[in-house]
Amino acid sequence: MTGRTTQPPVEPDPHSGRERRAVRLRRAAKLTSVVLPVCLIGWLSWQAVANSTRDVTSHPAVSPHYAEGDRVDADGPSDAAAPAGSPSAGAPAPSPSASAAGAANLPLAGRTVLLDPGHNTGNAKHTADINRKVDIGNSRKECDTTGTSTDAGYSEAEYTLDVVHRARQILQDRGATVVLTQDGDRPWGPCIDERARIGNEAKADAAVSIHADGAPASGSGFHVIMPAKVAAGPADTSAIVDPSHRLGVLLRDTFKAQTGEPTSTYIGQQGLDTRSDLGGLNLSKVPKVFIECGNMRNTGDAGRMSDPEWRQRAAQAVADALTSYLTG
């Protein structure tokens, strides 16, 4: 028989299972050290793209736009961080459509309008000043007068300044530069020759003098006064007669349509009158008309002119007529 060497029995190694687990953990750690950074880089890249997409879709660029009726600051929008003379940082250039919209909303941009509120509430306290005569070309006439009032005491001077303030706002909202002959900031006047001179020096594109009449109570309605041809001394209206007539017709038609006030029953023809004795017209070098908005001595006219809502319609009519004249 072949002989054998007998080996003693081998005891199980109590550490062999623990070692295998350690090896597996080391392998897993190596795998994690490679896979996790790759996954992290991919996730961060996805987030960057997603955030960029949200920024674009949630915050679209808005072109500057001024809605009709908004008032634009004379200096325009500003950006302290933008260099002088350059567009605001980050602001897109206006598109042609935005520029067209701006032009439509500001049809009177670059235009100058003179509004002349007739008389002054302080004139009655300065009779010596307003009674002195001034040269109106073809004659001499009082510097100014006190104006009239309703039977209830609402003065022409108060009425004219209120309507002028309302019309000024509308015209400024349309882009016009509006010059006033007085803004309730003078103790009296100004004289009629100075009123004309203010418009001339401003090189106004058009001028309207706002008044209310003090005729007999039986007469009612409004009328527009246009300059006659006068060439005498400092007066020469030859260049403004025709454009003033066009402005006058537009104002007559617009005022009648928007206020409901009928044309005068006691003066003029179909709401139009031509005069050569008004210094504010004779001395004007720019197209100019007067409007007598109604007869303050007539009960119906006085009631309408005392109503703020009606005065707003009157102001709207003046502004709309000037806009039609300057853009037509």
The amino acid that residue 142 corresponds to is E
Domain that holds residue 180: 114-327
Residue 142 bears catalytic tag: no
Handedness of CA 254, 265, 114, 260 (dihedral sign): negative
What distance, in Å, lies between the first and last C-alpha atoms of the chain? 136
Task: Indicate left, alpha or beta for 85 from its phi (over 0: left) and psi (-120 to 50: alpha).
Answer: left
Residue 96 lies in a domain: no
Question: Could you give the angle at the alpha carbon of 289 between the alpha carbons of 283 and 293, nearest 5°?
Answer: 135
Residues 6+ apart with CB under 8 A from 193: 134, 135, 136, 143, 279, 283
Report the CATH number that the domain containing residue 167 is assigned in CATH.
Answer: 3.40.630.40
Residue 285 lies in a domain: yes
Q: Would you state the pLDDT for residue 95?
A: 56
Handedness of CA 150, 116, 171, 186 (dihedral sign): negative
Q: Would you state the pLDDT for residue 253?
A: 98
Alpha helices in 59-175 (DSSP H): 96-105, 127-131, 156-173
Q: CA 150, CA 321: separation in Å to the nearest integer? A: 26
Structure-token pair, residue 94:
């206006």
Closest by alpha carbon to 178, among 240, 111, 243, 119? 111
Residue 91 lies in a domain: no
Low-confidence ranges of the chain (pLDDT < 50): 1-16, 23, 31-32, 34-36, 38-40, 43-46, 48-92
Q: CA 106, CA 109: separation in Å to the nearest integer? A: 6
Q: CA 277, CA 228: separation in Å to the nearest integer? A: 9
Q: CA 309, CA 314: separation in Å to the nearest integer? A: 9
**Residues linked to residue 140 through DSSP beta bridges, in sequence order:** 135
Q: CA 291, CA 61: separation in Å to the nearest integer? A: 48
Query: Among all chains, which residue has been given the structure tokens 């707003």?
Result: 312
The amino acid that residue 143 corresponds to is C
Structure-token pair, residue 105:
């909303």
Q: CA 280, CA 190: separation in Å to the nearest integer? A: 11
Residue 283 lies in a domain: yes
Closest by alpha carbon to 237, among 322, 325, 138, 140? 138
Residue 169 lies in a domain: yes
Q: Would you state the pLDDT for residue 93?
A: 55
How many distinct structural domains can be found in the chain?
A: 1
Q: CA 162, CA 210: separation in Å to the nearest integer? A: 10
| Cα–Cα distances in angstroms (integers) from residue 240 to residues 28, 190, 236, 246, 264, in the given order | 98, 22, 9, 10, 24
Write down the pTM of the prediction: 0.71
Residue of 194, 261, 292, 309 with catalytic role:
292
Q: Would you state the pLDDT for residue 14?
A: 45
Q: Would you state the pLDDT for residue 105?
A: 87
Residue 286 lies in a domain: yes
Q: CA 60, CA 124: separation in Å to the nearest integer? A: 61
Residue 237 lies in a domain: yes
E strand intervals along the chain: 112-117, 133-135, 140-142, 177-180, 206-213, 223-227, 231-232, 235-236, 272-275, 288-295
Q: Would you state the pLDDT for residue 328?
A: 92
Residue 154 lies in a domain: yes
Whether a cis peptide bond, with omega within 30° of 0, leads into 190 is: yes
